[in-house]
Amino acid sequence: MALVTGASRGIGAEIARRLARDGFHVVVHYAHGAAEARDVCAAIERAGGSASLLQADLSMSDGPQNLADAFAEPHLDVLVNNAGIAPFEAIEDMSEGSYDRLSNVNMRSVFFVTKYLLPKLRDGGRIVNLSSIVARTAFPGIPAYSATKGFIDVFTLQMAASLGARNITVNAVAPGVIETRLTTGLLEGGGSDAVQAMQALSGIGTPDRVAGVVSFLVGADGGWTTGQIIDVSGGSKL
């Protein structure tokens, strides 16, 4: 069984669909996009997979505990901490409220969802956290968002070391610019050309590229890989 947070659309939805194809029952978590989450579950089931829904607002302080309480299954094999928000705001423009919401979703929820679900995670299980290349390379104008992804990288490393005794692997996946609803504005006009100019590989990344790496990390061939941040950026800013 796999739980994917923030799986109603974009990268999270594609991860959910891929893990269902890999044979997992997938718990599709969402905060507000109930109709979209139902569509993801329906698509999984039409393809012969198995899925269920779980709602919790991870921007709220009690969100992680509510998620854990709503997860009624006795055991979990895979946890994918995908939920995240990306307010692309410069330090001059960011309010304390916006910062607090960003911190709650991108950092606090990852920490406490992991904490609260660890008792249910089987020995030999897998955790995958969604990071970003902005944790290692500068993109002007998004300091707070970038810092949250730096937290993910450090948290991944620490948890990999502490959970090794249970044979639980903990890794992070760090996408570059991926074609989703979030990046529509970025890719319009000459944006697509600008993105490709900073990549070693041509083209724009799609959610299935990220889902494929997650599939490897939680599958049989990923069992000897832990504590790693896997770049999925097409070689951005090499």
Residues catalogued as catalytic: 145
Angle at which helices 207-218 and 10-21 pack, to 10 degrees? 50
Distance of CA 130 to the CA centre of its chain: 4
- In sequence order, the 6+-apart residues with CB closer than 8 A to the CB of 2 are 16, 19, 24, 25, 26, 27, 76, 77, 78, 79, 80, 218
Please, are residues 214 and 232 in contact by the beta-carbon 8 Å criterion?
Answer: no
d(CA 178, CA 136): 17
CA distance 132 to 12: 14
